[in-house]
């Protein structure tokens, strides 16, 4: 059975797109996952009231070690040029003679998730949201934690090479669940402008993804505009973008 690595997929833009090609894979899977659930609260009258039913935070510890060449020998070998003799011929070296990489090359991918990078009209940038997956953790494609941001990262460098290069590290990460209210409204509520002019290169799927947040809902636009051949969408075509019914936001083709 192949080893499934935990992966973190960051948001790529303000539209809430998550691309699996941008996934950040951990070096070693965590030994444990700690969830903090917000279930019930006490109101001012002292009564129990229903609170959040979903995990509020997820804490995990990640380890990194670039001295273990079995992790990715091809990657590490290609990171350094092969030494040559005085006559220009390459010298064969063993894996043990290859210096390990700076471990911060890999830890920074997680640390950078705390940096505001998602622009928002009229507001300061915010850090990207993340989705966390791990093999068969859940029936939802292994989803561990949905729509969250990195609340904090504590980085500890634990081992150094003779020249001072950090080669081992430990990250204590805390993720907090959060949903962009504006993005959620965009998916659930009617669009702001019901009329749209098709631009060159656009398809019904790309328009559906931008307007509804789901490329599979293109047929709603096609039916509304009575398009006989949705594949032949000409630039300059004026489309009416209908509001989404509540039932249309669940599921989708695919």
Instruction: Summarize pLDDT for 79-89 with one digit per residue, the tens.
Output: 444 444 444 44
* CA torsion through residues 97, 101, 102, 106, sign: negative
Residue 81 lies in a domain: no
Give me the mean pLDDT over the 5-23 stretch. 89
Please indicate, yes or no, whether residues 115 and 228 belong to a single structural domain of this protein.
no
**pLDDT tens-digit map of 145-173:** 998 999 999 999 999 999 999 999 999 99
Task: Pick the most confident of 48-62, 85-99, 169-183.
Answer: 169-183
Q: What are phi and psi of 187, to 5 degrees?
A: -80, -30
- How far, in Å, CA of 171 to CA of 115, rounded? 16
pLDDT band, very low/low/confident/very high, at 241 (cuts 50, 70, 90): confident
Q: Are residues 149 and 35 in the same domain?
A: yes
Domain edge (last residue) among 154, 179, 204: 179
Is there a single domain that holds both residue 112 and residue 167? yes
- Residue 166 confidence (pLDDT): 96
For 181-202, the pLDDT digits (tens) are 666 655 555 445 578 889 888 8
CB atoms closer than 10 angstroms to residue 77? 13
Entry pTM: 0.61
- 215 located within any domain: yes
Mark whether 175 and 194 lie in a shared domain: no
Q: Which residue range(s) make up the domain with 243?
A: 190-249
Residues 231 and 162 in one domain: no
The average pLDDT across 196-225 equals 86
Q: Do residues 47 and 114 share a domain?
A: yes
pLDDT score recorded for residue 37: 81
| Residue 30 domain-assigned (yes or no) | yes
Domain boundary among 145, 179, 213: 179
Do residues 52 and 121 both lie within one domain?
yes
* Chain-centre distance for alpha carbon 8: 5
- Under the banding of pLDDT at 50, 70 and 90, the label for residue 71 is very low
Residue 196 and residue 114 share a domain: no
To which residue do tokens 């636009």 refer? Answer: 221
Structural domains counted in the chain: 2
pLDDT category at 15 given cuts 50, 70, 90 is confident
pLDDT at residue 77 is higher than 60 = no
Q: Compute the average pLDDT of residues 96-119.
A: 89
86 belongs to a structural domain: no
pLDDT of residue 38 exceeding 70: yes
């Amino acid at each position: 059975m192949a080893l499934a690595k935990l992966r973190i997929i960051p948001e790529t833009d303000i539209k809430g797109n998550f691309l699996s090609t941008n996934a950040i894979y951990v070096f070693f899977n965590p030994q444990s996952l700690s969830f903090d659930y917000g279930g019930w609260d006490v109101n001012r009258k002292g009564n129990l009231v229903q609170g959040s039913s979903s995990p509020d935070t997820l804490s995990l510890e990640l380890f990194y070690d670039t001295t273990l060449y079995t992790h990715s020998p091809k990657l590490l070998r290609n990171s350094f040029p092969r030494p040559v003799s005085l006559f220009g011929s390459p010298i064969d070296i063993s894996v043990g003679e290859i210096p390990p990489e700076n471990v911060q090359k890999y830890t920074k991918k997680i640390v950078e998730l705390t940096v505001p990078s998602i622009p928002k009209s009229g507001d300061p940038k915010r850090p990207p949201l993340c989705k966390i997956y791990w093999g068969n953790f859940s029936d939802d494609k292994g989803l561990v934690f949905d729509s969250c941001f990195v609340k904090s990262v504590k980085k500890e460098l634990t081992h150094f090479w003779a020249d001072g290069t950090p080669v081992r590290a430990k990250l204590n990460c805390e993720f907090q669940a959060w949903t962009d209210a504006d993005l959620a409204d965009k998916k659930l509520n009617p669009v702001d402008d019901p009329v749209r002019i098709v631009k060159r290169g656009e398809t019904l799927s790309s328009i559906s993804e931008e307007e509804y947040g789901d490329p599979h809902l293109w047929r709603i636009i096609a039916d509304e505009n009575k398009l006989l051949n949705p594949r032949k969408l000409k630039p300059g075509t004026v489309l009416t973008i209908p509001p989404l019914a509540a039932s249309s936001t669940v599921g989708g083709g695919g």
